[in-house]
Amino acid sequence: MSEPPSLYRDRDVHWFVASRFFSTAAMQIQSVAIGWQLYDMVHTPLALGLVGLCQFLPMFLLTLPAGDITDRHDQRRVYTWAARVLSLCSLVFAVMSLIPVRVAWPFYAVLVLFGAGRGFSGPSGSSLLPFLVPPEKLPKAIAYSSSAFTGAVIAGPALGGFLYALGHPAIVYGLCFLLFQAAALIVGHLGGRRFAPEQSLASRYERVAEGVRFVKARSVILGAISLDLFAVLLGGATALLPVYARDILQVGPMGLGVLRAAPAAGAFLMAFTLGRWPLKRHVGGLMFAVVAAFGLATIGFGLSTWFPLSLFCLFLLGATDMVSVNIRSTLIQLATPDFMRGRVSAVSMLFIGASNELGEFESGTTAAWFGTVPAVVVGGIGTLVVVATWMKLFPALRRVDKFNDVHA
């Protein structure tokens, strides 16, 4: 039975996209500040790796239970409280910068709490969009949301680097506090379709396991999510950008902001292109192709010592990653029924969190052991190996032609 059209209001989509822009911009602004501040304090790439590890551990423990909570409660309320936790962390960072705290461990402690907040904000936020638009408009809405996301990833690092260079870290963190608060306020007032959860006697563990089994039983979803996990885990060059900005390219904190914005610029241009001309055919094979291009761009960046060439490689890295994200997100949303969206989103967010935050730890650790450039180059080569392996392990994903070939 189709939903009445009055349930879907264009303004809800616009406000949702605005909230995503605010929260993503805050994360990007804060990541520039915390990365530069800790590297300047400790002077080792391992300090950057620990930034990712401190966020990954609580995300790993909480994301799957958060997905179950999202399926049993209103996503809007879950996200609102999670965003408030994120804003509290930004406020604490600002206070520690004003005191100032000159040792690293208090910052890592707050990053653990920040990772916990992200563990709840990820599943609740990513599962909300299908309740704001009808199914036939979902691919275009995902591209629209992705455009806002990448726009924030462009503006956030550049603004963070600019404010950090010209002002004080507390100003940067204070802005992040306001942006997270704005995102919480917006999502708390969204309308759209409401999902009434089924009454179940299953325990929380059984419900979480049900979500994991659902993903495992669908090779297209599992292949798409795991491809992103291992490719980005190995090709996490962006975690080492403070090292490149300070020691290799020697462009300072403002240059770091530009480097952080370059992948987002490529992603934004690609998201705009996909919004105007959505993908229609050969989406499975295209996903493998763009992930391979991601690995090649990573290798190019790792070897570059020329700032413009580094920016170009990062631009390509972001553009190819956006195509992969668009394909993966659309396949997952179209293949997931309403009652399972929170848990499937949690599994997806856990993989994404592992690929990003755990990838930061992997990159920082290998850079400390073997050197920054070898760590990035080997990671890019590893991405190419993953693509070749996954094409053999998940032929069903490679054969997907149209998005409508998968369904809930």
Concatenate the DSSP letters of all residues of 340-372 into one string.
GHHHHHHHHHHHHHIIIIIHHHHHHHHHHHH-H
Sequence-distant (6+) residues with CB within 8 A of 280 are 402
150 contacts: CB under 8 Å, gap ≥ 6: 264, 267, 268, 270, 271, 318, 322
Domain count, the chain: 1
On whether residue 371 sits in a domain, the answer given is yes
pLDDT at site 407: 64
Instruction: Give the Å distances, CA to CA, from 123 to 69, 87, 243, 263, 296.
Output: 9, 18, 32, 24, 31
Please tell me whether residue 132 adopts helix, strand or coil conformation: coil
Q: Is residue 152 part of a domain?
A: yes
Instruction: Specify the pLDDT at position 4.
Output: 47
Residue among 353, 244, 229, 219 nearest 300 (CA): 244
Q: Which domain holds residue 60?
A: 5-186+205-403
239 in a domain, yes or no?
yes
Q: What is the pTM of this model?
A: 0.68
**Count of CB atoms within 10 A of residue 385's CB?**
13
Domain-embedded: residue 119: yes
Residue 192, domain member (yes or no): no
- pLDDT one digit per residue (tens) for the chain, 408 residues: 444 445 567 788 889 999 999 999 999 889 888 988 888 888 777 777 788 788 888 888 888 788 888 877 788 899 999 999 999 999 999 999 998 888 889 999 999 999 999 988 988 888 788 888 877 777 778 777 877 776 787 677 778 877 887 778 888 999 999 999 999 999 988 877 766 655 555 666 677 777 778 888 788 888 888 887 777 666 667 778 888 888 889 888 788 878 877 887 888 788 788 878 888 888 889 999 999 999 999 999 999 999 999 999 999 998 998 888 888 888 887 777 777 777 777 777 777 655 566 666 767 777 778 888 998 898 899 999 999 999 999 998 888 888 877 765
Q: Which letter, b or e, does each residue of 187-207 get, where b requires 16 or more Cβ atoms within 10 Å of its Cβ?
A: bbebebeebeeeeeeeeeeeb
CB 33 within 8 A of CB 169: yes
* Residue 199 placed within a domain: no
> Is 200 domain-assigned?
no
What CATH number is associated with residue 344? 1.20.1250.20
pLDDT in the model for residue 3? 47
- Which of 356, 146, 156, 376 is closest to 261 using CA atoms? 156
pLDDT score, position 90: 96
Residue 408 within any structural domain of the chain: no
Q: Which of 245, 268, 383, 403 is nearest to 331 (CA)?
A: 403
**pLDDT (0 to 100) of residue 128:** 83
